[in-house]
Structure 1
Amino acid sequence: MQEQVFDRCHIINELLIGNQENEARQELIKLLDYHSTNELAYNPLVNHLIRETGLFPYLDPETSNWEERFIYNAFKVDVGEEKPLTLHREQSFLLKSLLEGKNIAVSAPTSFGKSFVIDAYIKIKKPHNVLIIVPTLALTDETRRRLYKKFAHEYKIITTSDVELSDKNIFIFPQERAMNYINIVESFDIMIVDEFYKASSKFDKERSPSLIRAMIRLGAKSNQKYYLAPNITSIDSNPFTEDMEFIRLDFNTVFLEKHELYDQINNNEEKSVKLLEILSKNRGKSLIYAGTYSNIDSLTYLFLDTYEPVQNELLEMFAQWLAKNYDVNWSLTKLISREIGVHNGRLHRSLSQIQVKLFEEETGIRNLISTSSIIEGVNTSAENVIIWRNRKGSAKLDDFTYKNIIGRGGRMFKHFIGKIYILEVPPIESQTQLDIPFPDEILGDLDDTKYEGLLTKEQVAKLKIYNDEMCDLIGFQVYEELKAESAFQSSNYELIKTIAIDLTRNPTEWNGLYYLNEFKPQDWDRLLYKILKLQPGNWDTGYKTFVEFIKIMAYNWSKSIPKLLKELEDYDVGIDKFFLLERNVTYKFSALLNDLNTLQKRILKDKQYDISKFIKWCSNAFLPKVVFQLEEYGLPRMISKKLHESNVIDFYNSELTIHSVVEHLNEIGKEMTIERTNNLDEFDKYILDYFFDGIKITNTQQ
């Protein structure tokens, strides 16, 4: 066995001599996996090769020579945890560049460990205001949990709107929410944009304009910028990264072992057989990339037909909890009892987070079916990644996204080797040049003189015409004030103009708008139809269904989800559509309402309407505000309701904030909270344990 180790060390050394460091590192990781499998200690030669390839965290000080022990300790940094951690060579290089004050756009693999660099920067530099823009709310909470434990004793960790600032703040937001602080925070020491490739319309057509808007407006208030993405080869010339140094780091910490099985598959039936065969052979955790919602349904039918429920006390409790609180006939309820979970962007935040938590548990979910939400929403990984379909929505999977998905295979110190099973022909390997054109959609949000240098001649002309039209509609002074305030939530300037035109030309049709503030859902129809038609084709269902959904959803706090679903049966709204439409109400519809309200207060000012109350109801899914915010922290509404009914927290208290609730619960403690809350079942207690883990402070050093 030792002879085999020596032979492989010789091969790695030859690769290093031949200047093939990446190949040497891959071979070394396979050798470390061999040591782990056979429970072998590293000899000094193995430690030396670890040092030579820059994988310093893998060094074993117990079996190292003094040179390796020196490196292991020299690259230790305080990242806010109980003990300093050793960074690998490229992490250390990146941290050094940031500490020197450079603006950096970095491309590094999924397994690189980019978050440690951020944590070390905060710990060493001690900035006052840190802004972290993330692509999804799921990633917002994952980042909050990580930073809360390390820095909540020193910083206020802010993830929601309307929060009173502290002396030192870490803001973690999706781009739309970040804009709420544009006129509140004077400056940011550093703006960090995670997954910044989404600024390109090629990768996120719907939301790229709002990200670019945030990068421009908030970037102007930031002393330093740090943008992160995986698998970018180069960045085309653009005004958003021109003052930044682009660094490409091709440095993996795990090895991806690819099994290209698509040549053995001729039809869907054979593909299903192959998938079941892979899952039966591998007892480790598996991520199954399905690509689309319809493919998730196909896999659901396959698994329900193939597998029987298993004896697993934890998952049985979760399945019963889902049946009671959501839908007894829901496919997820049945899948969970078979150790299978589903991750997509529509589920309630807390449900996605609980499933990822169970996927991380040794005795929890074994297989997780996912859309691309798994690469955008969380930083989880698995021993096995299975590519079931080479699609992302209706389009074919591109090489960039494909690499991002398979990059979820393996994990430092847990799985040196990630096994990748490819059941459909992968995309042709290509270089990813990131192109970030200036989007027309945000022209109306810009000052034409201040930003003229960023625009093409055609865009300058468009902007001038648009500004003239808006000044004619609402007046020059009002329009300038609204732009200065960044008052609009929409990044679509044509939509803003559409609303202004309708209010100006048809003022009488908006009579009685303030009635929306009265909790009489039966009287909302006319106005809801009127508002929805400002943005046709945006609601994922017909107008009638969406109007009825809003009226029934208005009872979200007083009625259980099973009761709401019963009332929605007549409109063919099941549990999956419930999630989709609720999300549309809280985001798309609320944003439209906000922009409508902003404009009507100026255009219909004689009527003195203000629908802020109705907007708050919609943006919080008709739940008490803090209850809705707690779902982002991983606490489902039905448990919050039990806390409310047991007088642990009065969610009707208008003075309540997310931060005061977290502080209050920390003071009570988990055990006392559980003791004082009536009707908690065992899985409620499991969720509370997970929730409390996300609000505890582990580093108490001042």
Structure 2
Amino acid sequence: MTKKELRVILGDPERIAADPFLVLKEIACFVNDPALEDEGRDLVLRALEHKGAFGDCFGILNDLTRQVGLFPYLDEERLSLPDSIAYEYHKPLNGDDFVFHREQAYIYRRLLSGESVVLSAPTSFGKSRIIDEIVRLNKFRNIAVVVPTIALIDETRRRLIKFSDQYKVVTQVSQVPAERNLFILTAERVNAFEELPQIDFFVIDEFYKLDITSSDETRPVNLNQAFYRLYKNGGQFFLLGPSIEQVSDQMEEQFSCYFYRTPFSTVASDQYYVGGGDREAQLVEICRELNEPTLIFCSSPNKVNEIAELLEGQLSARDVPRELASCNDWISEHYHPDWIYGKALLKGIGIHHGRLPRSLGQYVVRKFNELKLNFLICTSTLIEGVNTKAKNVIVYDNQIAQKKIDFFTFNNIKGRSGRMFEHFVGRVFLFDPPPEEQLPLVEIPLVTQGDNVPDSLLIQMDSNDLTPRSKERLSEFVRSAILPMDILKQNAGIEPQDQIGLASAILSEKKYHLLSWNSLPSWEELEYACDLIWRFFVKRGGSGAYSGRQLAFKVNSLSEKLSIKDRVANELNAGKYSAKTPNEAVEKVLSFDRNWASYEFPRFLMALSHIQEYILQHEGYQPGDYSYYATQVESFFDNSLLVSLDEFGIPPILGKKVIRGMEDVDIDTAITRLKGATIRASALHEFEREVLVDSIEAM
């Protein structure tokens, strides 16, 4: 039989049961051919989906499962003595009853030997479990796991919190490290950690993002800087990524690491091309036929809302778990009754994108994995790393924002279908042809130092790690009389030329009186600061701000401390820039909070603070200090604990209730007190009680 014929039979338990021995015999032909083992493994996985149909022949299927290295799927009771020995060999040291598959065990043992490893493997490989077992060894004093998104910080923290008796789990820069620590951070947070202890072992997920290939250089630069900092610390490392053909020989040599690429997968996948026609009608039709957990990938938060509105209006009503109705009530009360996030829950639909408050993003992922939601409509912020129990993935868009998805991202998206021990065979529905298959070389800018590598990255490197060409590029900044190198380096991630341009403007415009403020600025002082930031640091407008003056206005309005509901209402008020729908109004508020208030504005403001401090001192004027104001904006002019607790799953609205009496404590103390507190149920909404209990259990 051909592979195609076998796949058809393996999808039908009745056809399997008609002659199970013949089916297994045909699978064995693939398994026993070394050139076809990957195809054989795929067929074995499909057979395991309906293993009950094999009856008395299941022992043969068990043997084939062992032969293709899928040890976790073996029935231990049916193993021969040699197979039992092999089974035990694939268990991690100090582990429980878990057993690695063949390729996991291989990588695990190379890491045990002290080797640094760069692994290219499919999404379903089980890379996270290798990390878990390395942590379990208790071998390293300090471990860092660098993840691509804050959404993945929460998932990783929840998974690794079981090691809190061995390590202090640190996810935020404000936390004080202990004697032994497990850091779970984004690259930006690694770079922001001023007193990072010696890291003995570190992991970087999605390491292919070290390559600078996009128009947005900020994230690759941050990741490279984090990698460089951790590597120079002397730690062993484990880099993970999907679908990478190779890394440069220079990298393996310079970083003394071992690159390993494997196609080994623990789930099979069926791919369906939906084709042309009315996309929305086709999507609705597909969703009406699906009963298993389904992810729907969209290009942007706005498209997520559009598709959620479409499905909410077209899918039939269903019995809604009480907690989802309770969440919708809470959303209606505190955001807007017509915001799609709450309305969609009533049809078994969740939405997830980067603008959502952390706690609400975590909530829908949890409900999806609890099988309370049939559909989860999301952007790349969920696709890139967060594990779900999705059987199906619908790739509705073939781009992120305005850029076509590449082969890396496509494999990441489709790899979210199926789940080890949950769904042996996943399904992927494509509305566009897949991107051209390419498994390119990943080039690490720290190694290549080509002309496309930004100066903001090179300037963070030690002189002895720079090529002659890089040293020549940086020489103009060394010779610059406007700003010293330590200021340029202090403002990490901002191009040196942009910093010098801003400094030159300060010197030529001589508005020193508008820069020498501390604490809270006047309107004129804030407007001038935002004007400088906009002219020299902001590459393009967006997220609710399209000019320096508008940025100043929106930042200043945060100090009024209006509720989210009132801010949403303000966005709907008639005017030139008013939102046309409740969804748009909520998105404007959330987008500004996420992108400007909690990240970009404080970062740019502190860079301006460092620059003006140096210039004003040298010009004989009293300099300003913007650190207090930057912190106030970042915490929305409220207790900074609220932002911290939001990442632990507690919405700020709820946080205000639970931190009463803890206004002056740090996040670690607050966590300790919350874990020992008695929850007064009568004072909380039903939704608030649920998320509070869940968050405390995961702390």
Fold shared per TM-score above 0.5: yes
| Aligned residue number for residue 667 of structure 1 | 676
Shift of the 126–42 alpha-carbon distance from structure 1 to 2, 3 Å rule, reads farther
CA distance in 2, matches of 1:39, 1:7: 11
Residue of structure 2 aligned with 1:318, choices 316, 327, 330: 327
State the shift of 1:165 in Å: 2.0
Equivalent pairs counted in the alignment come to 659
Residue of structure 2 aligned with 1:59, choices 59, 65, 74: 74
Greater CA drift, 561-570 or 686-695: 561-570
Q: Does the Cα contact within 8 Å between 2:142 and 2:197 map onto a contact in 1?
A: no
| Aligned residue number for residue 496 of structure 2 | 493
Q: Describe the superposition over 1:162-200 as per-residue Cα deviations: whole angstroms up to 9, x where unpaired.
A: 43221111111111110133x523521112111111111
State the shift of 1:16 in Å: 2.3
State the shift of 1:432 in Å: 2.8
| Aligned residue number for residue 477 of structure 2 | 466
Q: Does the Cα contact within 8 Å between 1:257 and 1:420 map onto a contact in 2?
A: yes
| Aligned residue number for residue 378 of structure 1 | 386
Shift of the 467–358 alpha-carbon distance from structure 1 to 2, 3 Å rule, reads same
Greater CA drift, 135-144 or 5-14: 5-14
Residue of structure 2 aligned with 1:549, choices 523, 530, 554: 554
Q: Does the Cα contact within 8 Å between 1:42 and 1:60 map onto a contact in 2?
A: no
Q: Does the Cα contact within 8 Å between 2:295 and 2:378 map onto a contact in 1?
A: yes
Residue of structure 1 aligned with 2:37, choices 16, 21, 40: 21
Shift of the 42–434 alpha-carbon distance from structure 1 to 2, 3 Å rule, reads farther
CA distance in 1, matches of 2:404, 2:689: 42
Shift of the 632–238 alpha-carbon distance from structure 1 to 2, 3 Å rule, reads farther
Q: Describe the superposition over 1:641-673 as per-residue Cα deviations: whole angstroms up to 9, x where unpaired.
A: 1213xx4x42x21xx1211111111222xxx22
| Aligned residue number for residue 650 of structure 2 | 635
State the shift of 1:156 in Å: 1.1
Residue of structure 2 aligned with 1:133, choices 110, 124, 146: 146
State the shift of 1:304 in Å: 3.5
Shift of the 684–520 alpha-carbon distance from structure 1 to 2, 3 Å rule, reads farther
Q: Does the Cα contact within 8 Å between 1:498 and 1:534 map onto a contact in 2?
A: yes
Q: 1:141-540, aligned counterparts within 5 Å?
A: 141-148=154-161, 150-181=162-193, 184-202=195-213, 205-237=217-249, 242-243=254-255, 244-262=257-275, 265=276, 267=277, 269=278, 271-307=279-315, 309-312=317-320, 313-362=322-371, 364-376=372-384, 378-437=386-445, 438=449, 439-443=453-457, 445-446=459-460, 449-453=463-467, 457=469, 459-469=470-480, 472-475=481-484, 479-480=485-486, 482=487, 487-511=490-514, 513-514=516-517, 517-518=519-520, 524-540=526-542
Shift of the 381–42 alpha-carbon distance from structure 1 to 2, 3 Å rule, reads farther
CA distance in 2, matches of 1:294, 1:568: 16
CA distance in 2, matches of 1:492, 1:237: 29
CA distance in 2, matches of 1:406, 1:527: 45
| Aligned residue number for residue 698 of structure 1 | none
CA distance in 1, matches of 2:505, 2:86: 67
1:595 maps to 2:580: no
State the shift of 1:245 in Å: 1.4
Give secondary structure in 2 for the equivalent of 1:427.
Answer: coil
1:30 maps to 2:46: yes
CA distance in 1, matches of 2:253, 2:644: 33
Amino acid at match of 1:34: H
Q: Does the Cα contact within 8 Å between 2:515 and 2:623 map onto a contact in 1?
A: no
State the shift of 1:506 in Å: 3.6
CA distance in 2, matches of 1:687, 1:522: 42
CA distance in 1, matches of 2:540, 2:248: 32
CA distance in 2, matches of 1:674, 1:21: 58
State the shift of 1:309 in Å: 4.5
Q: Does the Cα contact within 8 Å between 2:51 and 2:58 map onto a contact in 1?
A: no
Q: Cα RMSD over matched residues?
A: 2.5
| Aligned residue number for residue 5 of structure 2 | none
Q: Describe the superposition over 1:381-410 as per-residue Cα deviations: whole angstroms up to 9, x where unpaired.
A: 410111112222212222221111000000
| Aligned residue number for residue 667 of structure 2 | 658
1:689 maps to 2:693: yes
Higher RCO (CA < 8 A, seq sep 6+): 1
CA distance in 2, matches of 1:79, 1:612: 47
Q: 5+ residue gaps in structure 1?
A: 696-702
Greater CA drift, 276-285 or 299-308: 299-308
Amino acid at match of 1:658: I
CA distance in 2, matches of 1:542, 1:526: 15
Q: 5+ residue gaps in structure 2?
A: 1-15, 580-584
Q: TM-score, normalised by structure 1?
A: 0.88
Amino acid at match of 1:633: F
CA distance in 1, matches of 2:94, 2:513: 55
Shift of the 450–628 alpha-carbon distance from structure 1 to 2, 3 Å rule, reads same
| Aligned residue number for residue 92 of structure 1 | 105
Shift of the 493–24 alpha-carbon distance from structure 1 to 2, 3 Å rule, reads same
State the shift of 1:136 in Å: 0.9
CA distance in 2, matches of 1:519, 1:316: 44
CA distance in 2, matches of 1:440, 1:189: 29
Shift of the 39–369 alpha-carbon distance from structure 1 to 2, 3 Å rule, reads farther
Q: Describe the superposition over 1:118-166 as per-residue Cα deviations: whole angstroms up to 9, x where unpaired.
A: 1111222520011111111111121111111x21112111111143221
Amino acid at match of 2:190: A
State the shift of 1:421 in Å: 1.3
CA distance in 2, matches of 1:145, 1:513: 44
CA distance in 1, matches of 2:141, 2:120: 26
CA distance in 2, matches of 1:330, 1:193: 36
| Aligned residue number for residue 700 of structure 1 | none
Q: Describe the superposition over 1:595-631 as per-residue Cα deviations: whole angstroms up to 9, x where unpaired.
A: 1122222222341421211011122233311210111
CA distance in 2, matches of 1:94, 1:343: 33
CA distance in 2, matches of 1:236, 1:536: 33
Greater CA drift, 423-432 or 65-74: 65-74
CA distance in 1, matches of 2:541, 2:516: 21
Q: Does the Cα contact within 8 Å between 1:289 and 1:369 map onto a contact in 2?
A: yes
State the shift of 1:283 in Å: 0.5
Give secondary structure in 1 for the equivalent of 2:202.
Answer: strand
State the shift of 1:355 in Å: 0.9
Q: Does the Cα contact within 8 Å between 2:650 and 2:692 map onto a contact in 1?
A: yes
CA distance in 1, matches of 2:407, 2:529: 46
Q: Does the Cα contact within 8 Å between 2:482 and 2:504 map onto a contact in 1?
A: yes
CA distance in 2, matches of 1:347, 1:7: 52
CA distance in 1, matches of 2:57, 2:384: 36
Shift of the 164–431 alpha-carbon distance from structure 1 to 2, 3 Å rule, reads closer
| Aligned residue number for residue 65 of structure 2 | 50
CA distance in 1, matches of 2:373, 2:57: 33
Shift of the 532–127 alpha-carbon distance from structure 1 to 2, 3 Å rule, reads same
CA distance in 2, matches of 1:41, 1:527: 76
Q: Does the Cα contact within 8 Å between 2:122 and 2:263 map onto a contact in 1?
A: yes
| Aligned residue number for residue 4 of structure 2 | none
Shift of the 9–54 alpha-carbon distance from structure 1 to 2, 3 Å rule, reads same
CA distance in 1, matches of 2:265, 2:533: 50
Greater CA drift, 192-201 or 487-496: 487-496
Shift of the 428–87 alpha-carbon distance from structure 1 to 2, 3 Å rule, reads same
| Aligned residue number for residue 73 of structure 1 | 88
Q: TM-score, normalised by structure 2?
A: 0.89
Amino acid at match of 1:140: I
* Aligned-pair identity (%): 26
Give secondary structure in 2 for the equivalent of 1:132.
Answer: strand
CA distance in 2, matches of 1:241, 1:296: 44
| Aligned residue number for residue 578 of structure 1 | 589
